[in-house]
Amino acid sequence: MKIKKSKTKKITHIPLVMLFGIGIYFAIAHGLPAYEKKFGAQVGLLRNEEISPRDSVVIDFSQAVLWPEKNNKVIINPAIEADAVWSANGKQLVITPKEFWNPASSYVISYAGGRSVFLTKIAKVKLSFTTIKNPRVVAISPTNEQRDVVLDIENPIVVNFDKSTKDFFIKFTLEPGIEMAYENNLEKTQFKLIPKTPLVEGQKYKLEIAAKYSNDAMDSYKKIADSSFETAPKAPTVWEKDFTLRLAQAKQYTRPKITTGKYIDINISQQIMSIFENGLLINSFLVSSGKRGMDTPPGEYQIRNKATRVWSKTYGLFMPYWMAVAKDGKIGIHELPEWPSGYKEGANHLGVPVSHGCVRLGVGSAKTVFDWTEVGTPVVIY
């Protein structure tokens, strides 16, 4: 390691006895602590943890080092090229890497020892320090081993770090090889990733995250985290005739069309209603929609109003747990209708389109949906 010397004027030789006397004078005049008089100057690092890659490391001496001995060897292990400059009138040795300290590393500085200007001994020392750690991943969504994952721009992969990654390059790899687009927040503590091409349904993918210091070589990335997830399986082309099995299929394969807040999803081709909240399936139910010629119209609606029990003048029926979806109030969601005598339509019609356009739910499920729904909740019928 090169130690830069300050330019000094040539001085006349001073006899050792006189130099010793000057040292004693200074020791008394400045009142050295008894410990230092007996055991010598103290040596340490001003900081020894979380050293940034380009930071200087400062060796601090309790007494100024004697000028001829400032050239004593300083060795760094692992070896690294650095400049060493004396400052603070010989009481500090400032060591600065020519390139950078490697992150997440430990170094040892060996100082050969010497004497202070007071002629007290400066012992040989080994001083250690550690550099800043690589950013740490604290959360990944989807979570590790999560199944039935569907990614889109509203539901991307999200990776959160414990600190800013501004001094690092972060590499995300999704295998089998998928190219991804990403964006990060201003603090560079969160990244959102989305595949540029559709993922294969029912496929397991592995996400690997690596980091390197921005000035380090391109081949110096180190893995800092990994995770895996499995995409949702492909929806069946043939749905089960058995309604119990069909409901199970709906719960497995129905994908949310709205991922924020609550919404009602009605698949009239399969006679299934599913309710979602923030993209998560809450439950699925069999329904009965409009029969041929009085089909329930597909489209995007919302709950217009609600009532626990309404009377239909048109059909002379009570409709429990009524929720209007059409602006004119003619199409809604309700429980199986009842005659004034109390007779209720049989549940055997659930799963079969037999209504006059409304969407019917069974006993129990109608109240569940009614209680869960709010006026304004979106309804998507397809």
Q: What is the CATH number of the domain that holds 104?
A: 2.60.40.3710
Same domain for 124 and 26? yes
pLDDT confidence of residue 93? 96
pLDDT confidence of residue 343? 85
Here the tokens at position 147 are 């199944």
Domain assignment present for residue 316? The answer is: yes
Same domain for 65 and 108? yes
pLDDT tens, residue by residue, 179-202: 999 999 999 999 999 999 889 988
pLDDT confidence of residue 280? 87
pLDDT confidence bin for 11, thresholds 50/70/90: very low
**Cβ–Cβ < 8 Å for 262, 177:** no
pLDDT confidence bin for 25, thresholds 50/70/90: very low
pLDDT confidence of residue 3? 53
pLDDT confidence bin for 115, thresholds 50/70/90: very high
Same domain for 6 and 122? yes
More confident residue, 67 or 99: 99
Here the tokens at position 14 are 């001073």
pLDDT confidence of residue 7? 46
- Dihedral sign from CA coordinates of 95, 96, 98, 101: positive
Q: What is the CATH number of the domain that holds 201?
A: 2.60.40.1220
> CA 97, CA 193: separation in Å to the nearest integer?
36
Same domain for 16 and 38? yes
pLDDT confidence of residue 348? 83
> CA 319, CA 375: separation in Å to the nearest integer?
18
pLDDT tens, residue by residue, 137-151: 999 999 999 988 888
All residues at 6 or more sequence positions from 175 whose CB lies less than 8 Å from its CB, including other chains: 205, 206, 208
pLDDT confidence of residue 71? 80
Diameter of the chain by CA atoms? Answer: 126
Same domain for 48 and 113? yes
**Cβ–Cβ < 8 Å for 286, 363:** no
- Mean confidence (pLDDT) of the chain: 88
pLDDT tens, residue by residue, 126-139: 999 999 999 999 99
* Residue 37 pLDDT exceeds 70: no
For the purposes of burial, counting CB atoms within 10 Å of the CB of 172, is it exposed (0-12), middle (13-18) or buried (19 or more)?
Answer: middle
Same domain for 16 and 60? yes
Last residue of a domain, one of 79, 113, 130: 130
What's the average model confidence in pLDDT over 337-359?
Answer: 89
What's the average model confidence in pLDDT over 86-103?
Answer: 94
Same domain for 77 and 163? no
* Residue 48 pLDDT exceeds 80: yes
Query: Is the pTM here over 0.95, yes or no?
Result: no
> CA 207, CA 209: separation in Å to the nearest integer?
7
* Number of compact structural domains in the chain: 3
pLDDT tens, residue by residue, 251-293: 888 989 998 999 999 999 999 999 999 988 999 999 999 999 9
